[in-house]
Amino acid sequence: MKKLTAILLSLLMVLTMAGCSQPAPEDDKFVVGICQLVQHPALDAATNGFKDALKEALGDKVSFLDGNGAGDPATCTVICNGFVTDGVDLIMANATPALQAAASATSTIPVLGTSISSYGVALDIENFTDVTGINVSGTSDLAPLDKQAQMFLDLLPQAKTIGLLYCSGEPNSLFQVGIVKDYLEAHGLTVKLFSFSSSADVALVTTQACGECDALYIPTDNTAANCADLIGGIILNNNIPVIAGEEGICSGCGIATLTIDYYQLGFQTGKMAAQILKGEAVPASMPVQYFDNPTFKFNKALCEKFGVTVPDGYVELN
């Protein structure tokens, strides 16, 4: 009996050790947490593209936990901390405050951002060269800001004082505004800055800007995007045209934009996520990717309202 017991214990140990050394089964499933700052068309499109790319690459091996910050960075922090507690395999952070929340929540779980204008600004990395060196990478929605600024000279040559309207709580908005300001001033235009801290003071600040300026610029700004229709009503009442940083804002209140395709940007991010989950890449050494072919688009109704002649090469917004 003792001999039989010893044999059985030996077999059990062998089986246990074999189980510990076996590779993960091929049908392992992945859970991806998505933290989106707020719902508006651009961010929604990026999230949809991200999911489609991952489902195309991994099929039913991937599932998603969706979190929406409702425009509140503190809520993004709660969401991302929850993802860490849940032990998700990857976090996708849609918009700058969401990325900052995810990067603060974990230094080990892979984090991919999308709809981020500048990772150097968002992560406070000096002399950023598109590789973070940490568990973060992703895609940028930054369109060529000099070409956006040039649109004032091309479409609104009569405008001499330009107001830059943005949310002071979004560091990437301030980054964009700084570059556009320098370009416009270098071309002899007067520039005034108008910032709102939240959606609560958008109407007041926009009204003030309309009273002091000939035209407005709104960067890729999530608060502005969420209030685009409100801004549109104010600029129409004051007869002040807007150049927008992306097509969602342009649809609500702009005459024209140089914009990226947010669905394709999200899809691009999803392809990066598939590489990470398959073990083919790590965020620390993955360069941030950019959208290669931004498109000039125009809002036909508002261009007609403001008497703007659109040059060749612009595409009408849907």
Q: Note the pLDDT tens digit of each residue in 242-299.
A: 999 999 999 999 999 999 999 999 999 999 999 999 999 999 999 999 998 999 999 9
Q: What's the CA angle centered on 139, arms 251 and 128, to 5 degrees?
A: 120
- pLDDT for 143-159, tens place per residue? 999 999 999 999 999 99
Cα end-to-end span (Å), the chain: 82
**Alpha-carbon gap, residue 289 to 309, rounded angstroms:** 34
CB 225 within 8 A of CB 242: no
Q: Superfamily assignment of 145-259+295-316 in CATH?
A: Response regulator (3.40.50.2300)
Q: Is the pLDDT of residue 80 over 80?
A: yes
CATH of 30-141+261-287, one of 3.40.50.2300, 3.30.70.60, 3.80.30.20, 3.60.70.12: 3.40.50.2300
- Spatial separation of the C-alpha atoms in residues 135 and 108, rounded to whole Å: 6
CATH 3.40.50.2300 in the chain: give the residue spans. 30-141+261-287, 145-259+295-316
* Helix, strand, or coil (residue 170): coil
- Residue pair 152/162 in contact (Cβ under 8 Å)? The answer is yes
Q: Is the pLDDT of residue 19 over 60?
A: no
Write down the pTM of the prediction.
0.85
Quote the pLDDT of residue 138.
Answer: 98
Q: Model confidence at 27, in pLDDT bands (50, 70, 90)?
A: low
Burial pattern 64-76, b for ≥16 Cβ within 10 A else e, equals: beebbbebebebb
Q: What percent of the chain has pLDDT over 70?
A: 92
